[in-house]
Amino acid sequence: MTSGYLLRRLGMLFLLIFVAVTINFMIPRLMPGDPVESALNQLVATGGGSVGDVQEIAEAYRERLGLNQPIWRQYLNYWGNIFTLELGTSLQFFPAEVSRIIWSALPWTLGLVGVTTILSFGFGIIMGALMAWPGSPRFLKSIVPGFLVVAAIPYFMIGLVLIFLFVLTYRIFPSGGGFTFGGNLGYNWETVWSILRHATLPALSIMLASIGTWALSMRGLLISTLGEDYITLAEARGLRPRRIFLWYGVRNSMLPQLTALAILLGHAISGAVLVEVIFSYPGLGFKLFEAIHGKDYFVVQGIVLFLAVSIAVAMFLMDLLYPLIDPRIRYQSR
């Protein structure tokens, strides 16, 4: 790996983090009014007693944010807080740390997005390959338009339809949440079963929406790969068609698909956030939704920053991996 490539990618990563943090710092300060004040007022108006001593909390925030200091000083403080992972405290659930809230919600989102991405990637590639395979049955080719239509619709709207079908009409799956309410979470089969049952519909809605995209691009790539000269050569050498298809065609078409993974990652996370909301799935997306509703400003800010930075880091890691996986990608490109 050339050091120039590494440096450029690293520079991009730092730039991304810098932009994300700066946007996060700027936007609340560009808006008229004091977010702390308005958020707290709203809380008092709606919630009342559970908030605690409003004046005290507001004072604490004013102090911590240093809102009376010059703007560059506030900006530096903000960076300092981020390096020490201090993202503030929740207004809604007062002494709870924002970083702790993110930490507790993260496994749910990571599990959901991770598993669905791998599954839909795998299924999509198999389906795309079958669609391009001359010997596969005709009905497979005719489901392409169906998947295209589903892929055009936002993830969470598919979730709504799934709830209607499998929760209301057939009553197979629970309507939402991450596990059976009131049940105690432990390392036993009951817990695993409960978590799986609750995750099925959210996962299904993400997968239904994304398999089509993977399958179609795989089909396109495979068709153009099958037109390459080395396929003709392999045929001329008398290799078995199945071997040509799998080892010469599919294997070479899969690599560009991996590149697309990075581009779709941000899309997948945005989609998953909304799916979590629809299913009240206890991940980051649902926490974000709760925070928006409770005017819990620092939680919103913290989750947004976390999402942006983690996508930037994931992109960086994938950029480092590609040249190792696919030697055809040149370090100098881009």
Partner 1 sequence: MILVQRARMISFQHAKVTGLLKLGRNMAHGLRTNKTLAIGLFMILMIGLVALVGPLLVDPDDARIGAYPARLKPSAEHWMGTQQQGRDLLTVTMLAIPNSLKVGLIAGSVGLGIGIVFGLSAGYFGGRLDTIIKLASDTLIILPGIAILVLVAVSIRTMTVEMMALVVASFAWMYPTRTIRAQTLTLRERGYVQVAKMNGMTGIGIVVREIMPNLLPYIAAGFVGAVSGAMLATVGLEALGLGPQNQFTLGMEIYWARFYGAILRGMWWWWMPPVIIIGLVFVALLITSMGMDQIVNSRLRRST
Q: Which residues bind partner 1 (CB under 8 A)?
A: 12, 15-16, 19-20, 23-24, 27-28, 30-31, 33, 35, 38, 148-149, 152-154, 156-157, 160-161, 163-164, 167-168, 175, 266, 269-270, 273-274, 277-278, 288-289, 292-293, 297, 300-301, 303-304, 307-308, 311-312, 315
Q: Which is nearer to partner 1, 43 or 277 (CB)?
A: 277
Q: Which is nearer to partner 1, 152 or 321 (CB)?
A: 152
In the complex, least distance from residue 247 CB atom to partner 1, rounded to whole angstroms: 30
In the complex, least distance from residue 216 CB atom to partner 1, rounded to whole angstroms: 11
Q: Which is nearer to partner 1, 266 or 323 (CB)?
A: 266
Residue position matching structure tokens 């068609």? 241
Say how far residue 155 (Cα) sits from the centre of its chain: 12
In the complex, least distance from residue 186 CB atom to partner 1, rounded to whole angstroms: 29
Give the integer Cα–Cα distance in Å for 106 and 272: 12
Q: Which is nearer to partner 1, 16 or 51 (CB)?
A: 16
Which one-letter amino acid corresponds to residue 208? L
In the complex, least distance from residue 47 CB atom to partner 1, rounded to whole angstroms: 17
Give the integer Cα–Cα distance in Å for 181 and 326: 46
Give the integer Cα–Cα distance in Å for 154 and 60: 41
In the complex, least distance from residue 41 CB atom to partner 1, rounded to whole angstroms: 12
The DSSP output letter for 49 is: G
The CA–CA distances, whole Å, from 309 to 8, 17, 106, 115, 285 equal: 18, 6, 14, 21, 15
Question: What are the tokens at 249?
Answer: 């065609």
Sequence-ordered strand ranges (E) for the chain? none
Question: Rounded to 5 degrees, what angle do the CA atoms 80, 82, 98 make?
Answer: 130
- φ/ψ of 171, rounded to 5, equals 50, 45
In the complex, least distance from residue 22 CB atom to partner 1, rounded to whole angstroms: 11
Nearest Cα residue to 302 out of 317, 315, 287, 312: 287
Q: Which is nearer to partner 1, 20 or 218 (CB)?
A: 20
Q: How many CB atoms lie within 10 A of CB 285?
A: 29
In the complex, least distance from residue 278 CB atom to partner 1, rounded to whole angstroms: 7
Which one-letter amino acid corresponds to residue 85? L
Q: Which is nearer to partner 1, 28 or 239 (CB)?
A: 28
Q: How many CB atoms lie within 10 A of CB 169?
A: 9
Question: What are the tokens at 272?
Answer: 């998953």
In the complex, least distance from residue 238 CB atom to partner 1, rounded to whole angstroms: 34
Q: Which is nearer to partner 1, 35 or 124 (CB)?
A: 35
Question: Rounded to 5 degrees, what angle do the CA atoms 103, 106, 109 make?
Answer: 170
Q: Which is nearer to partner 1, 217 or 301 (CB)?
A: 301
Q: Are 300 and 288 in contact (CB under 8 A)?
A: yes
